């Protein structure tokens, strides 16, 4: 089943007299429960593409279906509701709330978006803490954690709502190589366990080898698709 389908997708930004074509005529498909990476140098359009898939921004042209919804028709409010229901995000700089504990950071989307009853929230958060190897650290604050631990919390937060799709924009850029590798392995094991589709971006040649499907971006063009392993 295809979870994301883009045809002739384009995105341009206008800056005064200049128009930057960040994505030029991209066609791609992302299958359910796949582990996909968009790879390219800085400025090649990775964030732009992930923001389009995540309904954080609207394309300038072409079609984009996410989870069988034509997301180009969603207004701001509908896009926010759609994101809250179906999509999890992991960021380069972790984006944890500093005054909240690990537990509360993971609870945040359940409270803010999905308003689940307390017992269900607790069970779900404990399951996620366990899954990311942070069961003992729920009471810590983000500033008491290493970078790798922070990213584990972010992965748990992205998945706690049962998101079908997790978008991770350069999730390993602020981590040393061993930690980066372990975060990618964690995401892959979460995919195996929960069937979540993961899409991440990177410009790290070693990290990109961990993807099962690789799309290469160069100056806004999606130049090839490569399946590295089954
Ligand atoms: P990457 O994530 O691969 O570094 P981006 O998607 O951030 O690439 O950027 C792609 C191109 O679009 C770059 O030329 C960048 O300067 C431009 N761009 C990105 N966001 C904006 C914006 N909000 N306004 C104007 N130009 C932008
Ligand atoms: Mg970027």
Structure tokens at 76: 């701001």
pLDDT at 223: 79
Q: Which ligand is nearest to the CA of 44?
A: 1
Q: What is the number of the ligand 1 atom nearest to the C-alpha of 15?
A: 25
pLDDT of 104 over the 90 cut: yes
The residue ranges of DSSP E strands in 32-70, in sequence order, are 35-39, 61-66, 69-70
Sheet of 221-227, strands arranged across: 87-90, 165-168, 197-202, 35-39, 213-218, 221-227
pLDDT, one tens digit per residue, over 14-35 is 999 999 999 999 999 999 999 9
Q: Which residues line ligand 1 (CB under 6 A)?
A: 13, 15, 20, 22, 40, 42-48
Per the rule left: phi > 0, alpha: psi between -120 and 50, beta: everything else, 83 is alpha
Query: For the segment 38-91, what is each residue's pLDDT rounded down to a tens digit?
Result: 999 999 999 999 999 999 999 999 999 999 999 999 999 999 999 999 999 999
Residue whose Cα lies nearest atom 14 of ligand 1: it is: 43
- Close Cβ partners of 143 (under 8 Å, ≥ 6 residues apart): 98
Pocket probe for ligand 1: among 17, 22, 59, 215, the residue whose CB has the most ligand atoms within 8 Å is 22
- Selection from 19, 8, 110 nearest residue 63 by Cα: 8
pLDDT tens per residue, range 177-230: 999 999 999 999 999 999 999 999 999 888 998 999 999 999 999 977 666 655
> What are the tokens at 46?
């990775």
What is the number of residues in the chain?
230
């Amino acid at each position: 089943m295809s979870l994301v389908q883009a045809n002739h997708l384009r995105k341009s930004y206008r800056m005064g007299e200049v128009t930057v074509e960040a994505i030029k005529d991209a066609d791609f498909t992302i299958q359910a429960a796949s582990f996909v990476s968009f790879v390219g140098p800085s400025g090649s359009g990775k964030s732009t593409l992930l923001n389009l898939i995540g309904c954080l921004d609207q394309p300038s042209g072409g079609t984009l279906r996410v989870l069988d919804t034509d997301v180009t028709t969603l207004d701001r409010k509908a896009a926010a509701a759609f994101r809250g229901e179906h999509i999890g995000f992991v960021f380069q700089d972790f984006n944890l709330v500093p005054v909240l504990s690990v537990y509360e950071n993971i609870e945040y989307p359940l409270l803010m978006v999905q308003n689940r009853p307390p017992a269900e929230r607790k069970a779900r958060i404990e399951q996620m803490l366990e899954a990311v190897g942070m069961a003992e650290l729920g009471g810590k604050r983000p500033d008491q954690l290493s970078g790798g631990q922070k990213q584990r919390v972010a992965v748990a937060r992205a998945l706690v709502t049962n998101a079908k799709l997790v978008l991770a924009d350069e999730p390993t850029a602020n981590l040393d190589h061993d930690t980066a590798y372990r975060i990618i392995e964690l995401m892959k094991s979460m995919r195996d366990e929960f069937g979540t589709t993961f899409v991440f971006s990177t410009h790290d040649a070693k990290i990109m080898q961990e993807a099962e499907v690789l799309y290469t971006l160069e100056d806004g063009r999606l130049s090839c698709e490569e399946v590295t392993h089954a």
